Amino acid sequence: MDVESIPKEQAFPGDVIALAEEYIPGRNSTDENGEIVSNVFGEIVRDDQELNISVRPYKERQTIHRNDIAYARVLKVDQRRASLRIGAIYNRKMGLVSYDAEVSLGLGGRFSRGPPLVLRIGDLIRVRVLRTGSRGIELGIYGDNLGVLRTTCYRCRNILELKNGALYCENCDKTEMRKVAPDYGNINFEEE
């Protein structure tokens, strides 16, 4: 078999790429409760001699711009804000590129549309960059193609399925509500 024909393994931010008992986290990966998790979008690189695992970003970019689409994983949530780790940015000119930054997202307040937004730790979401500058990056989740792309059950951690506009866990027979993107479970990176 030709080396060129072997498919490369890729990871998205939040993907579990190994267990901590198998590898030590390397560049762009972290140990979270015994699982090695990718921090960026890129190719998985295993070093079986040193027993470490890393993620090599496909494309590097140093700046982020207004109206870029960001892909992020929710790290922490309180009543008013969610802490996110951005792992990739989609820009019409450059396509999908790796970007590593920790930012926050407002979940409610006088500028939000509707009731306070519900997000959970571990949700993979698509957001729009509203503003960049000296105060940091401001993100928005309100828009037609924005929202949760993949999530797990709060109780059993199984992947939730989208049924009748709600997220459903077959294991727990439980429904959870989120602001869900139209391509939930079948992520389309090429369109905004």
User: What does the mean pLDDT of the chain come to?
Assistant: 82
C-alpha 37/C-alpha 163 separation (Å) is: 28
Each domain of the chain, given as residue ranges in start order, spans 3-57, 69-176
Of 15-19, 45-49, 63-67, 167-171, the least confident: 63-67
Predicted confidence band of residue 109 (pLDDT cuts 50, 70, 90)? low
- Pick the more confident residue, 141 or 114: 141
Q: In this structure, are strands 24-25 and 52-57 parallel, antiparallel, or unpaired?
A: parallel
Are 119 and 74 a contacting pair, CB within 8 Å? yes
Average pLDDT over residues 133-156: 86
Predicted confidence band of residue 66 (pLDDT cuts 50, 70, 90)? confident
Structure tokens of 122?
């571990």
Decide if pLDDT at 53 tops 90: yes
Decide if pLDDT at 102 tops 60: yes
Structure tokens of 135?
């105060």
Decide if pLDDT at 61 tops 70: no
Predicted confidence band of residue 7 (pLDDT cuts 50, 70, 90)? very low
Other Cβ atoms closer than 10 A to 139: 22
Average pLDDT over residues 119-136: 88
Sheet holding 29-32, edge to edge: 16-19, 35-38, 29-32
C-alpha 172/C-alpha 84 separation (Å) is: 27
User: Can you name the CATH fold of 3-57?
Assistant: OB fold (Dihydrolipoamide Acetyltransferase, E2P) (2.40.50)
Q: Which CATH architecture has domain 69-176?
A: Beta Barrel (2.40)
Of 48-52, 91-95, 137-141, 157-161, the least confident: 91-95
Residue that is written with structure tokens 């989120």 in the block: 178
- The two domains 3-57 and 69-176 share their CATH topology (first three levels equal): yes
- Confirm whether pTM is higher than 0.85: no
Who contacts 32 (Cβ-Cβ below 8 Å, separation ≥6)?
A: none
Query: CA dist 118 to 46, 167, 182, Å?
Result: 36, 12, 17
